[in-house]
């Protein structure tokens, strides 16, 4: 049994792993029992550290990482399928809203101007550069009393649910199919320059120069009296 007075000091010294110093060192040099107890304490802590190392570095199950990867793949697929469903629903809702808006404006135009009718065999959807509106494109409604039926289809170019939710920044436009590319290009130019750009693309080869107008040649008038002319 170690000396009671040095028991706690022995344990603390063994726990910290620091060599005994000062009074404890002197006592250990003199007391065989305390020396033996100190050696046992150090062996105990050594075994404890070895056991902790085993417990802390246990083998990881081989199935862990594959299961995590599978769960991640499931989460990604679930997000995509949810987004696809959302796109389809949003597209259908947008088509219904667009159809109702077209019908409403058509009725309003008919009610305001009953005489004027605008007939189009194949009415294009004109593009009006926005002047004061923040939306880059305002497509006027298709007007006509007996215009041809229009078939509206949804393209694959739907944005994410977040983009659809923020309608102020990314508007949707109904355009004829043959003008789809032109509208997209126009919108890209608009978003980059923040002003109405020219529809014609700037090509680096040809530089636009101001049109030169020749000065007007005004011939001098020779005015003769009629009486003088007859006399001649």
Partner 1 sequence: MQELVLIQPGGTARQELLREAAQADTRREFEERLVECGPLAYRVARGVLRNTTDAEDVAQEALLRAYCSFDRLRDRNRFRAWLVRISFRLALDRLRSSKRREQRDTLWSQPEHQPPAATAEDLAVSNEFQAHLDRALGELPEKLRLVLLLAAMEGHTIDEIAAMLGIPVGTVKSRIFFARKQLAEKLRCHVNITKTR
Which residues form the interface with partner 1 (CB under 8 A)? 11-12, 15-16, 40-41, 44-45, 47-61, 63-65, 67-69, 71-72, 75, 91, 94-95, 98, 122-123, 125, 136-137, 148-155, 157-160, 163, 169-177, 180, 183-184, 186-188, 191
Return the number of the residue (122 or 206) whose C-beta is nearest partner 1.
122
The tokens for 114 are 């009953």
CA distance 87 to 95: 12
Return the number of the residue (26 or 79) whose C-beta is nearest partner 1.
79
Helix (H) or strand (E) holding 53, with range, is helix 32-56
Smallest gap from residue 208 Cβ to partner 1 (A): 26
Return the number of the residue (1 or 211) whose C-beta is nearest partner 1.
1
> What number of other Cβ atoms are within 10 A of residue 10's Cβ?
23
Return the number of the residue (111 or 157) whose C-beta is nearest partner 1.
157
CA distance 30 to 173: 96
Smallest gap from residue 197 Cβ to partner 1 (A): 14
Residue 31 contacts residue 16 (beta carbons within 8 Å)? no
Smallest gap from residue 210 Cβ to partner 1 (A): 32
The tokens for 121 are 């065999």
Smallest gap from residue 213 Cβ to partner 1 (A): 38
Smallest gap from residue 206 Cβ to partner 1 (A): 26
CA distance 120 to 112: 19
Coil, helix or strand for 128? strand
């Amino acid at each position: 049994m170690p000396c009671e007075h040095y028991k706690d000091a022995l344990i603390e010294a063994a726990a910290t792993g620091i060599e005994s110093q000062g009074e404890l060192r002197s006592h250990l040099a003199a007391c065989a029992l305390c020396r033996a107890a100190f050696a046992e304490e150090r062996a105990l802590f050594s075994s404890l550290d070895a056991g902790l190392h085993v417990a802390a570095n246990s083998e990881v199950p081989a199935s862990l990482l594959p299961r995590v990867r599978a769960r991640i793949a499931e989460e990604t697929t679930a997000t995509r399928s949810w987004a696809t469903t959302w796109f389809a629903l949003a597209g259908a809702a947008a088509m219904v809203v667009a159809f109702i808006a077209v019908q409403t404006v058509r009725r309003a135009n008919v009610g305001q101007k009953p005489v004027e009718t605008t007939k189009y065999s194949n009415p294009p959807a004109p593009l009006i550069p926005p002047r004061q509106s923040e939306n880059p494109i305002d497509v006027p409604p298709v007007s006509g009393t007996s215009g041809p039926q229009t078939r509206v289809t949804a393209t694959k170019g739907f944005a994410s649910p977040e983009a659809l939710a923020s309608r102020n920044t990314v508007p949707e436009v109904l355009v004829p199919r043959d003008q789809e590319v032109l509208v997209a290009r126009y919108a890209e130019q608009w978003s980059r320059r923040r002003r109405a750009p020219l529809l014609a693309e700037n090509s680096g080869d040809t530089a636009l120069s101001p049109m030169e107008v020749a000065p007007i040649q005004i011939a001098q008038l020779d005015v003769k009296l009629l009486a003088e002319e007859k006399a001649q």
